[in-house]
Amino acid sequence: MPVRVLPTQPYPDQKSGTAGLRKKVTVFQQPHYLENFLQAIFDVETALHGRTLIIGGDGRYHNRVAIQTAVAMAAGNGIAKVIVGQGGILSTPAASNLIRVHDAAGGLLLTASHNPAGPDGDFGIKFNIAGGGQAPEALTGRIFEASKTLGRYRIFEGANVDLDRLGTRMLGDTVIEVIDSVDDYARLQQTLFDFDLIRDWFTRGGRICFDAMHAVTGPYARRILIEQLGAPEGSVINAIPLEDFGGGHPDPNLIYAKHLLDLAMSPDAPDLIAASDGDGDRNMILGRGLFISPGDSLAMLAAHLDRLPGYKSGLKGLARSMPTCRAVDVVAKARGLECHETPTGWKFFANLLDANRLTLCGEESFGTSSSHAREKDGLWAVLAWANVLAVTGKSVQQIASEHWAQYGRHYYVRHDYDELPTATANGIVDRLRKALPSLVGGRHGDWTVSQADEFSYTDPVDGSVATAQGLRIVFGDAARIILRLSGTGTEGATIRLYLERYERAADRLGWTTTDALAPLAAIADKLIRINELSGREGPSVVT
Ligand code: VG1
Ligand code: CO
């Protein structure tokens, strides 16, 4: 019997963050570190035994090694069938979809998303449950508890599966099937969008530039945009997934994808410019001459989605994470749709999606998706925009200006203070938390603080409560300042400061984001004093 039970020592730090367990590659390379975390999952989620498990990753450094371990441990833990993406590649939304398509009991998604890769970079694992969504907090909590006392793990010893050869083989009693990473995902998108119309839009001269940032979406974007929709060769750039993402930072935003902003502003800009992140769940959208902020993209898609084939029967409801700007709330109100405000992290949308109360949801961190999946879906958002352009015959610029004229405009920015000493970051947050009650009623320029509190969330479906989900200073509908600590970093602590300002008057819709938010940034500086207390001259990243 090659299934062996091997002794191990527990690690104390296997606590999942906003989206799974993320650590430096060197941490994952410690003896049995990965094995321990996986065994904790197999021990806690007993529903996996005798069922199907999906395994795949974003192709980053250490992906193949970790996938071999995961497959061998699945075979050692009584999984009936493992489905792996070819070459170990599955984008996060594709993996989530496979869980649904194959009625699997769960999935292991090996990714650290937008975090840099390579021997000195980051690695990570997310466990997704039946239905395709990320494990809820109660479950990741139990897995963490189990990991702290783990003394052994089970593995099929000596397994070495050829991840590149499609087809089925046995590992002991477990069926291992290597499948094409793109097929099912592409099929799904075809049911949602009007491929004929988009193809026609390309034929009529519509142009796209999609940057896969040398991360996981290259093969997906090539298959769908070029092979199926007929976009010209060259419409997808950086399409080959590389272990180090080409040395870049696969985080599609105005800093790490500045070349796309430059392209959008150039005289020869395509109609639609887009990118996605390391694991393919984020998206960035630009049109000729402008960048669409993720909160705006969510609101604009909400206003147009029922014109696309998969959504013709109408929208159920809308949702956004708390720090995401309230543009989508305005659309929800105008259309009489329920609108939810959830904590940061996609897992909080899952219950609402499962309960059929949501059609579209999004986060300010370049995440958008719909009820078709239980993860955010980068390429989905790009295809949705392409379909909107094709069906309306309008440009991104026109869609944006008409949207702002009708609903008003939310100016929005996020300031990240990366990798602060943990004590410093906690100090800044604690200080503001204590000051919150005294801020209510305070006047700052034209604005008065209507609410200042720490966000907590009660899930309307299962009643579970998530506390300490970010500090907010609200100035009615006019503006908000939000402060929270990141839960995805692997070094020190990262503070995120979010600024949002809403304007409706016609002569206030065309400001630059920086100008519009300067007064709010000054108020935040006065109230929170991040620069002064952190000793930094300013944020590390502004998006
Ligand atoms: C960040 C974002 C959050 C997102 C999460 C995972 O979390 O703010 O909106 O859901 O990353 O994104 P945090 O805790 O660092 O702010 V990714 O593309 O894993 O998958
Ligand atoms: Co991601």
What atom in ligand 1 is closest to the CA of residue 114? 18
Sign of CA dihedral 542, 241, 93, 183: positive
- Characterize 236-275 residue by residue with b for buried, 16 or more Cβ atoms within 10 angstroms of its Cβ, and e for exposed: bbbbebbbbbeebbbbbbbebbeebbebbeeeebbbbbbb
Token pair of 298, please? 């969510």
Are 96 and 185 contacting, i.e. CB atoms less than 8 angstroms apart?
Answer: no
Predicted confidence at residue 489, as pLDDT, reads: 85
The string of DSSP codes covering 450-487 is -EEEE--EE-TTT--EE----EEEEETTTEEEEEEE-S
Which of 471, 470, 428, 477 is closest to 448 using CA atoms?
477
CB 140 within 8 A of CB 128: no
Alpha carbon of 484 to ligand 1 centroid (Å) = 12
Taking the centre of ligand 2 as the mean of its atom positions, its distance from the CA of residue 67, in whole angstroms, is: 18
**Residue ranges of the chain with per-residue pLDDT less than 70:** 1
472: Cβ below 6 Å to ligand 1?
no
pTM here is 0.96
Compute the distance between CA of residue 267 and CA of residue 325 in angstroms, rounded to an integer.
30
* Residue 29 token pair: 């390379």
Catalytic residue (one of 91, 113, 370, 486): 113
pLDDT in the model for residue 1: 58
Strand ranges in 90-146 using DSSP code E only, listed in sequence order: 106-110, 122-129
At 426 the pLDDT is 97
pLDDT in tens, 178-216: 999 999 999 999 999 999 999 999 999 999 999 999 999
Instruction: Encode pLDDT of 332-366 as tens digits.
Output: 999 999 999 999 999 999 999 999 999 999 999 99
pLDDT at 320: 98
Whole-number pLDDT of residue 347: 94
102 lines ligand 1 (CB under 6 A): no
The span from the CA of 125 to the CA of 47, in Å, is: 19
Is 464 designated active site? no
For residue 18 and ligand 1, the question of a CB distance below 6 A is answered with yes
490 lines ligand 1 (CB under 6 A): no
pLDDT, position 432: 98
**Token representation of residue 389:** 């352009």
Task: List the residue whose alpha carbon is closest to atom 3 of ligand 1.
Answer: 345
Q: Which of 16, 18, 320 to mutate to test the pocket of ligand 1 (most atoms within 8 A of CB)?
A: 18
Mutate which of 282, 298, 321, 344 for ligand 1 pocket (most atoms within 8 A of beta carbon): 344
Confidence (pLDDT) at 248: 86
Largest CA distance in the chain: 75
pLDDT in tens, 238-261: 999 999 999 888 999 999 999 999
